[in-house]
Structure 1
Amino acid sequence: MKSVQSATAASDGAHSFVPEISQPNLDLLGRAQSLYSLIHEHAPDSDRDRRVSEVVIDGLEELDLFQVCTPRRYGGFQSNFRTLFELTAEIARGDGGTAWAFALLNSNAWGVGTYSREAQDDIWGANPRARITWATNPAAGPTASARKVDGGYVISGRWPYASGSLHAQWVNLGFDVEIDGAPVRMATLVPMDEVTLEDTWYVAGMRGSGSNTVVGTEVFAPDYRTQSYDNLAEGNYASEFTDELEYLTPLGPNFNLVLVGAQIGLAQAALDYALEKLPTRGVTYTKYAKGSDAPTNQIAVAEAANAIDTARMLGRRACYDIDAAAVTNRGQIDRATRARIRMDSATIAVLCRESIDKMLTAIGSAAFASVNPLQQVWRDSETASRHAAVNVGVSKETYGKSLLGIDEFTMLI
């Protein structure tokens, strides 16, 4: 009974609610909103070219939107997590692939903020606007290797799913190495000019994210640019800047939640499209001259809007838990809350996917025409909502074990 009470308390918040802790940066949100037309216009280009349009990258760069999570010491905004979440949702209204790359490049800047001063200086000291991609999961073990050498490690391997890598100057790579006879998972920062990109991102959805494969051969990773994955997962970071509270929270909740902001924006885009189009066309083989007059469509848009609202509320609660932990608890988040955040993230993905499905049905088969933006929204959501970090089955298992007091969790929580 004690474990259930603990988990329930965590889900209600273990701290007094102070809204100001997790308020988004409205100036940055306004900047993102000003780019909607540009991003939406180039969404088909990003989908076709399997990378974010350079015109869009330039627009985001000019408005400093790749500095959202960069420390203030290097001219960044050092924003809270709520800001990144809301920005990602807003950008996804225009294009899911752009939002995905945007979210990962910014969250990876947050990740660099957990490394040593020397590592951060390597990246931002030389280029305060440097962007970082992330590929910490070496493919299938045997395709990645590492050995300890004086002053660091030498690593080789292939690292898939490096979102935004076509627009990055650095990459955070993961590798396994034997230390004192035991395998240890490590992460390290490597310049992109010391690795190559293999063009592997041929997928049905989220094409614009450009999540290609990083390939490295005998790459030297100095100790000061390396951390153990266990330390990352628990928030025991190498950074000396312990007064920078935004960089104290553990990796798992941040990573799980950053992947679903785009889902909310995609679902909102689908709803907006349906609300615009339903009053302008009839329902074939019925008496309804306007789709908006059909009760089935009225119910569908109500259910979709409600699902999106629910997803936003879950996301904002999770953002608050992350931001409040940084401010009030030195970044520490108990496992019950972390399990619930993972469950919430998966639920957001499912709610948004189902909302989009309702809008596809309301619009009908016309939604699947190549020129219809809904089909790209659908493909992006169907692909992204099945990312392993928001796997709904694993998330339910993890949350259920937490509620039942079973001390067994997945790696990323």
Structure 2
Amino acid sequence: MPETAEALVAKARAAVPVLAMHAAAAEEQCRISPESIEALREAGAFALTTPREFGGLGANLVTTVRVLSELGRGCPSSAWVAAVSAEAKNHFSTLMSEEVLAELYADPDVRLCIVGVPGEAAEVPGGVKIAGRWSYASGAEDADWAILGVALDAVDGFPRVAGVLVPVSELNVERTWRVAGMRGTGSHTLVADGVFIPAARVLELPLGPDGAPDLTLGEPLSLVAAGAVIAASLAGAALGALDAVQAVLGKRKPPMTQYKDLAASPSARHFFAEAEHMVNSGHDRLIHLAERIQEKLSAEKSPDIQRSALRMELVSILRQFLRAVDLLMDLQGSSGFSLESPLQRFWRDLNVGARHVQFTPYLMIENHGLLATGAGKPILPV
């Protein structure tokens, strides 16, 4: 019998202490610790979107967002890697044959990483050979398979883009991930030099009405849904930051005052109340957004302006999290930036993750402005 959403969220909540315990090590090593990998597996994080017919959980969008948000409270990097794997399965499984699906899902907890920027591919008898470098492959060192974007020869002037499914064991991993936050994601660079990919594992994108590759794979809301899944780990970062400050409200003394602790200060209570409301209401907004997307996910058509509005809502939620966690940092003061403090890691992870290409605010606003005013065609796929 399939596990309920509540049971899956409870499992994720039980994994949080383990993830939190090993979050600093993941950051130092630029790779999720083995203990956290096992905790994620036991919580079902890697089987979330594996189809039920292959032994997975087959969780819907709302459940996936709820589970990943909970996991992010312990370690946003760990939740991010699980989110990337979950969304790669969601997005590309429809392009796979039954034989490839059976190969991929031989282990329901199979882990994927993905890089969409197209690299080099030469078509050869029976498949393609790939060569090049694919950067920002989150979870590269612990993934079983990678989906890498490639550009194929054009046909009748129409560009062709595909994702190739390749075992990570056939690639080299260069440890290039040097960033201020989300370090534990280990988003290193994958390198291939003439690796052969059989035709069955070349997942060519269909063409849209304009003749360009359809990144939505015929499901208009799939990219917005993907954004919600990735954003769940960032909701977790905001929730984790809230947990960290709430734990010291009765312990930390406001500097240079007579207050015995933060809870005794009216202004500190005001700051905390504002931050608490923004974090929890932002989390509620994200779940509600996932519900709205899920309701429309199977629709054959969705107006550009509707999809753009959903993306704008996603960006607004993330900006709300950013403001809230800044308030929490103000309450914690300079001690919150100590490398021993989990708060600074949540702050950095959120600030880096919120700048992912899925969430580029100035482009999302420009896109929406074009659609809302009728001034032109969108500059981004929505």
TM-score, normalization by structure 2: 0.91
**Counterpart selection for 2:364 from 395, 398, 402:** 395
Q: For residue 210 of structure 2, what is the aligned residue in structure 1?
A: none
Deviation of 1:233 (Å): 2.1
- CA deviation digits over 1:331-369, x for unaligned, max 9? x43322211222122222211111111001011111111
Amino acid at match of 1:166: E
| 1:187 corresponds to 2:163 | yes
Structure-2 residue corresponding to 1:19: none
Residue-by-residue CA offset, 1:111-157 (whole Å, 9 max, x unaligned): 34222223312312x4343221111114xxxxx32222333322211
Counterpart amino acid of residue 339 in structure 1: S
- Runs of 5+ unmatched residues, structure 2: 208-212
Q: Is the 8 A contact 1:187 1:229 kept in 2?
A: no
Question: Kindly tell me: are residues 365 and 63 of structure 1, through their superposed partners in 2, closer, same or farther at Cα, counting changes over 3 Å?
Answer: closer
Alignment-derived partner of residue 253 in structure 1: 224
Shift, 1:54, TM fit: 0.4
Could you tell me how far apart the structure 1 residues matched to 2:196 and 2:296 are?
Answer: 35
SS in 1 for 2:117: coil
Task: Tell me the SS of whatever aligns to 1:282.
Answer: coil
Matched-pair contact (CA < 8 Å) for 1:292–1:298: yes
In structure 1, distance between residues paired with 2:55 and 2:12: 19
Equivalent residue, structure 2, for 1:234: 216
After TM superposition, give the deviation of residue 41 of structure 1 in Å. 0.9
What does 1:110-259 align with in structure 2 at a 5 Å threshold?
110-117=90-97, 118-124=99-105, 126-138=106-118, 144-180=119-155, 181-225=157-201, 226-228=203-205, 230=207, 233-236=215-218, 250-259=221-230
CA distance change for structure 1 residues 404 and 215 in 2, over 3 Å: closer, same or farther?
same
Residue aligning to 2:280 = 309
Contact 1:232 1:251 survives alignment (8 Å): no
Residue number in structure 2 paired with 1:377: 346
Alignment: residue pair count: 372
- Which residue type is aligned with residue 88 of structure 1? L
Match of 2:313 in 1: 344
Do the aligned partners of residues 337 and 121 (structure 1) sit closer, same or farther apart at CA in structure 2, a change above 3 Å counting? Answer: same
Deviation at 1:228, TM superposition (A): 1.5
Letter in 1 for 2:191: V
Mapped to 1, the partners of 2:108 and 2:78 lie a distance apart of 22
1:402 Cα deviation from its structure 2 partner: 2.4
Residue number in structure 2 paired with 1:242: none
Instruction: Report the counterpart of residue 328 of structure 2 in structure 1.
Output: 359
Tell me how far apart the structure 2 counterparts of residues 103 and 85 of structure 1 sit (CA, whole Å).
Answer: 9
**Which residue does 1:11 correspond to in 2?**
none
- Are positions 1:86 and 2:55 aligned together? no
- 1:375 CA displacement: 1.1
Give the deviation of 1:105 after TM superposition: 1.4
Match of 1:43 among 23, 26, 29: 23
- 1:66-93 deviation per Cα after TM superposition (whole angstroms, max 9, x unaligned): 1100011101111111111111110111
Structure 1 406/71 Cα, relative in aligned 2: closer, same or farther at 3 Å?
farther
1:276 alignment partner in structure 2: 247
Q: Distance between the aligned counterparts of 1:220 and 1:232, measured in 2?
A: 25
In structure 2, distance between residues paired with 1:131 and 1:384 = 20
Instruction: Confirm or deny: 8 A CA contact 1:101 1:209 kept in the other structure.
Output: yes
CA RMSD, Structure 1 to Structure 2 (Å): 2.1
Q: Write the distance in 1 (CA, Å) between the matches of 2:214 and 2:158.
A: 18
SS in 2 for 1:137: strand
Q: How far off its partner does 1:326 sit? A: 3.5
Q: Runs in 1 of length 4+ with deviation above 4 angstroms?
A: 229-232
Compute the TM-score of the two structures, normalised by the length of structure 1: 0.84
User: What is the distance in 1 between the residues matched to 2:245 and 2:356?
Assistant: 26
Given the superposition, is the C-alpha separation of residues 334 and 408 from structure 1 closer, same or farther in structure 2, using an over 3 Å criterion?
Answer: same
Equivalent residues of 1:137, 1:175 under 8 A apart: yes
> Which has the bigger relative contact order, CA under 8 A and spacing at least 6?
1
Q: What is the aligned-residue identity percentage? A: 27
Q: 1: CA distance between counterparts of 2:63 and 2:302?
A: 19
CA distance 1:316–1:399, change in 2 (3 Å): farther
Matched, 1:31 2:6: no
